[in-house]
Homo-oligomer: A and B are copies of this chain.
């Protein structure tokens, strides 16, 4: 608190007394947070108390003096966002949530890291009220925060009107040495600087200690200079125990509107414990006598655990009324806003709920009805996306520098940039990893439906945030084109092989590989309607015939994951079933026709999404894959491993157990066995093998 000019000496003395009292209260609050965290780790006999012990001061200042949030409504749309990027320090976050009045009890703090508790070993979005993002894998929080700040700017530019700052909040976060070493942080920070995200503010817990070493051994860089190079305002270094310095740095960060800010805060890991500052303080319990020593050293009752002085609770819980008031003021404004701008108000309401407008899918079904020419599914996807965005204004996203190629650009919807935050097209640069995390952060922010786009092979760069999206069950749409060796000449460095199966193995992730433009429409519908998790759309670079749905089964079957596309000779005994996805569906059809000419009766199943198919009823599955038909052949230009899930040990797989090769796509496919002739041959072998039994 800064002194103010007063006239009488008496007033000054009273001020000083009040200040001293405030200082005492501040320290009580901070110590409460620190020792709650420490007690949690000691009780669990597991966890990380070192960072809470050192970083509680900065977190306290931020939460007590700056953070606008409503503990009774953690989902308030215009709250400040808080990201704990060093998720291992979650005991500190849980302590903050408890003392500020979130729906998290002291009992839950005592059950830290126990089965079924709301206080897991790393913060989990959706599990603990007030946790805005799941963190733990380092760097992810930092980059997700950039996504939140992007969503805020995008929505502000779309919704704010004179006198109505509908979206106007900060995204704050704390991060560690480890976070700053991760490449995803570098990518996100570079983009944040380029985009002038002035409302993004990170506090860097610079404690000089990593798990294995001190930072000088492996982290010799000048972090301040690096962030200045990215276009950030760098504040500090400041002493992590000087509350007013922290306050004033945060204020400076708020004042700077053109650049994101990072405040370098020097702290001591495990401060006040006998081995403070040593990297051994990073994790795991410390001997009880050290805990007592730490508590005693600051006048904390050494034998008490989970001790929260009343004065602390009553001070910190002011956040409840303050937050309720702040949100209610905002709600009042929104009511006025909705009156003045009814359309915008309605759109706002809907976007915040994550709902789609009534006419969201208008025009989709007719998109390709008159198309006769083969078309890459990436191109179909581009047309679909550009149709969708006309009605679904929440759609925003972009590509890691291959938007023109993945066909992910929204034509006429502008580029998102510091001169025009309303643009829907985000140019992520060649930063797939940050793209994934930023999209996650946007989804978490709410109000937008984010999508990303790159080549399928480079999904490998994005796996960590894709996994988090699945774990958090948030709506992110990942577009991946160039989906197989069929991409051709770019060669094996660009040809995915194992990626399809690798992503199918991720829980809660829906993977869809459409076989033509009409299935691409249905795939996009699945993605749009899947509000409870991420969807992966896997698209071809090469042109694929558009399946004539008057002859073949409707593409609407896609929503059930797999469906019978073609039955050779209805009524006749089925000799074999061919299952295929994407471009290989056409080969399977070709093979089936050839077999039909030889009086071999084969059913072709299009199986664009395993996850959707596996969720169907037993009856439906039996109708597609009758149990008694053991002669099943899967065809997919990807790893064979896994396809036994449908074809069993009696079937066959035409797939790849090698990397691809550079050459024209059609030749590469042919050379590696993706011809109808080869499928015919394998099918006959499988039928023969099964007859012998």
Contact = CB atoms under 8 A, between A and B. Distances in A.
A226 to B, nearest CB: 4
Contact of A648 (B184, B218, B471, B649): B649
B402 A183 contact: no
A193 interface: yes
A430 interface: yes
A404 B213 CA distance: 10
Contact of A137 (B458, B464, B468): B458
B120 A415 contact: no
A264 to B, nearest CB: 13
Contacts of A493: 87, 121-122, 124, 134-137, 468, 471
B181 A190 contact: yes
B667 A115 contact: yes
B460 A671 contact: no
A217 B401 contact: no
Contact of A430 (B182, B431, B501): B182
Interface string A406-438: 000100000101000000000111111110000
B181 A431 contact: yes
A639 B460 CA distance: 18
B403 A212 contact: yes
Interface stretch (A267-275, A377-385, A502-510): A502-510
A483 to B, nearest CB: 15
A605 interface: no
A134, A430, A641, most chain B CB atoms within 10 A = A430
Interface string A211-239: 11100011111111110111100000000
A217, A493, A663, most chain B CB atoms within 10 A = A493
A661 B124 CA distance: 10
Nearest to A120: B662
A515 to B, nearest CB: 21
Interface stretch (A12-20, A29-37, A566-574, A650-658): A650-658
A490 B663 contact: no
A429 B115 contact: no
A300 interface: no
A680 to B, nearest CB: 23
Contact of A194 (B218, B417, B433): B218
A222, A409, A460, A644, most chain B CB atoms within 10 A = A460
B650 A210 contact: no
A193 B211 contact: no
Contacts of A461: 137, 182, 463-464
Interface string A107-147: 00000011111001110100000000011111100000000
A74 interface: no
A230 B492 CA distance: 33
A219 B429 contact: yes
Nearest to A220: B194
A670 to B, nearest CB: 9
Interface in A487-502: 488-494, 497-498, 501-502
A171 interface: no
A386 interface: no
A345 interface: no
Contact of A659 (B504, B507, B644): B507
B664 A217 contact: no
B181 A182 contact: no
B229 A221 contact: yes
Interface of A: 44, 46-47, 87, 113-117, 120-122, 124, 134-139, 177-179, 181-187, 190-191, 193-194, 210-213, 217-226, 228-231, 399, 401-405, 409, 415, 417, 427-434, 457-458, 460-461, 463-464, 467-468, 470-471, 488-494, 497-498, 501-502, 504-508, 610, 639, 641-642, 644-645, 648-650, 656-659, 661-664, 667-668, 671
23 contacts: A46-B489, A47-B489, A115-B661, A115-B663, A121-B489, A136-B490, A137-B460, A182-B461, A186-B186, A194-B217, A211-B402, A211-B404, A212-B409, A222-B228, A460-B463, A497-B506, A498-B502, A501-B505, A507-B656, A641-B642, A642-B644, A644-B649, A648-B650
